Structure formats: C-alpha cells, structure tokens
Amino acid sequence: MQFDQRKKSSIEVDFFTEYGEGNRYRIEEVIGKGSYGVVCSAYDTHTGEKVAIKKINDIFEHVSDSTRILREIKLLRILRHPDIVEIKHILLPPSRREFKDIYVVFELMESDLHQVIKANDDLTPEHYQFFLYQLLRGLKYIHTANVFHRDLKPKNILANADCKLKICDFGLARVAFNDTPTAIFWTDYVATRWYRAPELCGSFFSKYTPAIDIWSIGCIFAELLTGKPLFPGKNVVHQLDLMTDLLGTPSAEAIGRVRNEKARRYLSSMRKKKSVPFSHKFPNADPLALRLLERMLAFEPKDRPTAEEALADPYFKGLAKVEREPSAQPVTKMEFEFERRRITKEDVRELVYREILEYHPKMLKEYLEGSEPTGFMYPSAVDHFKKQFAFLEEHYKNGTSGAPPERQHTSLPRACVLYSDNNHAVQNSAEVTDSLSKCRIREIERPHVDRRVPIHVPQANQAGAARPGKVVGSVLRYNNCGIAAAGTEAIEQQRSRMVRNPASNCSYPKRTQPCKNDRGEDECPEGSNRLQPKPQYVARKVAAAAQGGPVNNWY
C-alpha cells in the first residue's frame, strides 16, 4: 500500500513539474502514452469529478506541431456539443513567454470505440443504430460549423459503458470559410488509410468536401456490424482494390472526373468488377441499415448524403428528433486568421497562451485590457502584501477592526508567522489582527535617526531566514504600538521583532524522457495528437439495451 502511494506520488510530481495549479488535481494512473506526451486519469478536488489530463510535451519544437495543437484546443472550445469531447480546463503556465508544455483537462471517458468493438461480440442492432445516430449527430454539428474532421476512426471516438460516444482528436481538422467554393485544396495525406475516402487515395478530384467524413463514418459503421475493418489495405493500391471489390469499378464518367492522370490510367486499366450486394456482405444486418450504409460508401462524393440527410433516413425512425440535433454557427475567419499567413514559433506561443486564458477569465480580462502588471502568471506575494497594506490603512486608521484578505491561490505558500524572538509562540492571523487593530501611530518629536544603519538579522533567526528570491511576509509585531522614544537601541529592538513568511520550498523535477508513440498504427499521420486508452485496458461490456424498452431512453 505504501509502495503504491509512493509510486502515485512520483507520477504526480513528474507529471506536473513546475505547474502550481496542478495541486488542484490528484493523479490516479497513466491511461495513455504517445508521441505527444502522456495522459493520466485524475480527481479534480475543486469539482469532485474524475478527469483525464493530457500533458503535451515541447509543443513549440516544431511550428507545424504547435499549430496542430492550437487548432485542436481552439476547435474544442468552439464546438460544444454532447457528442464531442469537452475541454474542461487548461492549466495556466508559469510564464507567458517561456512555457513549453501544456496540460489540457478533458472529461474522462472509459474507453474508445476500437476497444468496444474488440471486446464485445454481442452488440445488438439497437447498439448499432444508437452508435451511428450519435456519430452523425456530432458530425452534423461539426459540418455546419464549416469544419472537416478528416481523421475519423474508431480510436478517435471515445466511449462509456452507458453507450455514450464522443468524437475527439481535431488535430487534423480544417475550417472551410464561406468565401471558399465548397471545398478546399488541402493535402491529401489525411485520415488513417483504412478509413480514407477514395478521392484521398489517389488525388482523384481537384477538391474535396465534407463527404470525406461521411465515408469514414460508413467504414466505422461497417466495422461495428462485422467486428472487423472493412477496407484494411496494405497500401494505396491494395486499398483501392478492396474498395472496388465491394463497390465495383467506377463508371467511365466517374473516371473521367479524376484529376490525377496516373490515377485515371490506373482506374481505366483495372479489371472490370461488379459490385457485391451489401446483403451478401452483411447477411445479418438490418436492411434499412444496409441501405444507408450503401449511400455513405458511394464511390463519388456527390452521391453521399450529408450528415443532416443521413439523420433523416428511415433507419432512424423513432430515434431521431430534429430538436436534439442542433446545428452550429459557422466558425469566423478571425478565429483562424493564423491559417492564412506564415507564423513563427513565438506567434504560435502567444496564440496558444491566448487560448489558455479562455479558461482563466480574470486574467483574460487583464490581458485584453493590456494591464498585466508583471511577467508572473500567478499572483505574487508582493502584490498580496500591497492589498493587505491598503486594507489595513483603510480600516485601522478609524479604529475599526477586521481580518485582512487571505491568500486565495493554492499555488502560493500557506500563511504562517515565525518570530525571531523564541520567547513568543507562533500566533494565528486572528491574534495578529487583533493586536494590529489597537495600533496608533502618533506624530511626536523625536531625535534624528540615521536610517542608513544596515539591518543585522539576529543570530537566533539565521537558520530560518529567507533565502535569496524568497518573499518576505507582510506582518510586523511590536511591543508598543506608539513610538514614544527612538534611538539605535529602540530601532534594533523593533528590528529583532520582524517576522518572515517563508515561501514554499517544494519543487518538481522536469521530465527528460519524451513519451514514445507505441500505437504502431499503420500510416497514422505523423505527430497526431490524440487521447489514447492505456494499452492493457480491456473495455467493459457495453450496456445492452433495456429489454423491451424504447431505444431513446439511452439519450
């Protein structure tokens, strides 16, 4: 038991390094590792919730990687929907211009759809219907915001045992703006190959549309029905062969619209194949489900339905309700203006910091007003001393009493009072306040004192003296509130009463070993930033539909 506690404490220290706000979370276990860093499950002591904290290491080492992270946290802030994973918080870095790691706090999900398919061989038609409904509903919200996900696959869909699914990992997503003609000239190297639309396999078309995400959802749905990937191609040519084995070779008109001459020649020279009826490929599936699947897996993008059209399919009769299938407001150009220009590493750092401040409203207001007083991200003890002094000056000059403001941040040291005079015990803040409330400073004539006399700390207090860089506390204790006499002895006596509030003495070692990507996934886009379950995790059985009960009770 003690060994486990020490191990957990070691993980916690190593995980948060110098981030003081990490005190809010109690780390439980590592649940995922990848090229981006590590993910831990944790307990939020402020809200009492269980969360997943993703630590992303060295995000500014490459501008392309940091831009992908910026894009993801920005999109997840904008796209708030029950079927999209939610960012609950992002920890504030200790320095605005020097931080290199970020900690993103997500809601904790138990598994992902890949593990659900792998661990459950007894899913029912009601499960298939409800899973597809959630995916299309989330996709409708994403597409109406003019966002293409571009990397949908079972591992990027988180799952709970109550059948709830949430789309995650928007690192490869892109925004299409209204003045762009319905499609974008982006790189074709997107999406894991098994779930990649035909137009991405051979650069078939001059532009592509949100239909690429519909194809991916169709592949995921087919995998749910059979328990196996539908098109597990070993390379691009093999991928096209598997597609045409099921769908048949494309028509001459479709081939004529292919932009890439090499791909066009390959499709023209391909052995003519007839399409296989989906009822033969999926003999036990609901005919309505197969009809919708066939529409989603159309070879040409224009023949695939939109997410909204798919939700209106007869397959979802009795489950779909328009009022719980919201659309999103299109993402504005201002949010993604950085996509239209060349940006430096420092530009991205400032943009990421600005996104982090969205989860710290008070500091965001100061940032927008340009009133940041210092480079410190956490309130300093000096700032707090100024507030305490102003409070005392305002209240005690009129003889009124009241407790001065206490420190509100867990990242700061706990308040304590140490006296250089060993004859006096440590007093609590209430006693100090009471004694201060009796103070009166009388203006009297007193001999001139040379105030340039150096301060000598008494020998008894040398061990407890504040080290260089530590903050000196704000509370002074005097034997006599009124100064009736002065001189060197009186001054020395008062100085010996000075107290100090030592700053916190804890520090954390920094990580030196980067996390390795152990997914081993075939042609997964490099540098992909996603939430992964721990490798040894075996997903629990997904709760079956209540017997005889209506399916929409799951919602």
Rounded alpha-carbon distances, angstroms, from residue 145 to 183, 187, 473: 14, 21, 52
Q: Amino acid identity of 152? A: L
pLDDT tens digits for range 262-288:
778 888 888 899 999 999 999 999 999
- Does 164 score more than 90 pLDDT? yes
**pLDDT at residue 215, rounded to an integer:** 96
User: Helices (H) and strands (E) in the chain — how many of each?
Assistant: 17, 12
Compute the mean pLDDT over every residue in the chain, rounded to the nearest whole number. Answer: 74
pLDDT tens digits for range 65-110:
899 999 999 999 999 999 999 999 999 998 888 898 999 999 999 9
User: Are 422 and 460 a contacting pair, CB within 8 Å?
Assistant: yes
Binned at pLDDT 50, 70 and 90, residue 306 comes out as very high
**140 contact partners, CB below 8 Å, separation of at least 6:** 306, 307, 308, 311, 325, 327
11-20, 33-42, 419-428 — which one is most confidently predicted on average?
A: 33-42
User: In the sheet that 37-44 helps form, which strands lie side by side, from edge to edge?
Assistant: 25-34, 37-44, 50-56, 102-107, 87-90
Percent of the chain with pLDDT over 90: 42
**pLDDT at residue 358, rounded to an integer:** 95
Q: Is 365 helix (H, G, I), strand (E, B) or coil?
A: helix
Residue 107: strand pairing partners: 51
Mutual orientation of helices 287-296 and 211-226 as an angle, nearest 10°?
A: 140
- Does 378 score more than 70 pLDDT? no
38-52, 258-272, 524-538 — which one is most confidently predicted on average?
A: 38-52
**pLDDT at residue 466, rounded to an integer:** 43
CA pair distance 499, 490, nearest whole angstrom: 17
**pLDDT at residue 467, rounded to an integer:** 46
Beta strands in 267-330 (DSSP E): none
User: Are 276 and 293 a contacting pair, CB within 8 Å?
Assistant: no
Average pLDDT estimate for 303-332:
94
CA pair distance 197, 301, nearest whole angstrom: 9
Assigned token pair, 431: 């006693």
Q: Amino acid identity of 112? A: D
- With CA atoms as reference, report the closest residue to 70 among 57, 82, 83, 60: 60
- Does 519 score more than 70 pLDDT? no
**pLDDT at residue 97, rounded to an integer:** 86
pLDDT tens digits for range 497-516:
444 444 444 443 444 444 44
Higher pLDDT, 23 or 510: 23
Q: Is 250 helix (H, G, I), strand (E, B) or coil?
A: coil
Beta strands in 35-118 (DSSP E): 37-44, 50-56, 87-90, 102-107, 111-112
Assigned token pair, 109: 């999900």
**pLDDT at residue 498, rounded to an integer:** 45
- With CA atoms as reference, report the closest residue to 54 among 135, 109, 118, 114: 109
Angle, CA of 368, 371 and 372, to the nearest 5°: 95
Burial of 42 (0-12, 13-18, 19+ CB in 10 A): buried
- Least confident segment among 42-56, 116-130, 250-264, 368-382: 368-382
- Does 465 score more than 80 pLDDT? no
Average pLDDT estimate for 302-329:
94
Considering 83, 112, 151, 188, which one is annotated as catalytic?
151
Question: Hey, CA dihedral for 244, 248, 252, 253, is it positive or negative?
Answer: negative
- Assess whether 286 carries a catalytic annotation: no
**pLDDT at residue 260, rounded to an integer:** 74
CA pair distance 69, 362, nearest whole angstrom: 24
User: Are 76 and 87 a contacting pair, CB within 8 Å?
Assistant: yes
Q: What is the DSSP letter of 146?
A: T
- With CA atoms as reference, report the closest residue to 136 among 61, 221, 193, 64: 221
The fold of 2-359+511-554 is Transferase(Phosphotransferase); domain 1 (1.10.510)
Find tokens 């209540």 and name the residue: 546
**pLDDT at residue 178, rounded to an integer:** 62
Question: Hey, CA dihedral for 391, 392, 397, 403, is it positive or negative?
Answer: positive
User: Are 258 and 284 a contacting pair, CB within 8 Å?
Assistant: no
Rounded alpha-carbon distances, angstroms, from residue 33 to 66, 168, 182, 532, 533: 18, 16, 37, 7, 8
User: Are 26 and 12 a contacting pair, CB within 8 Å?
Assistant: yes
Higher pLDDT, 237 or 42: 42
CA pair distance 306, 262, nearest whole angstrom: 30
- Does 538 score more than 90 pLDDT? no
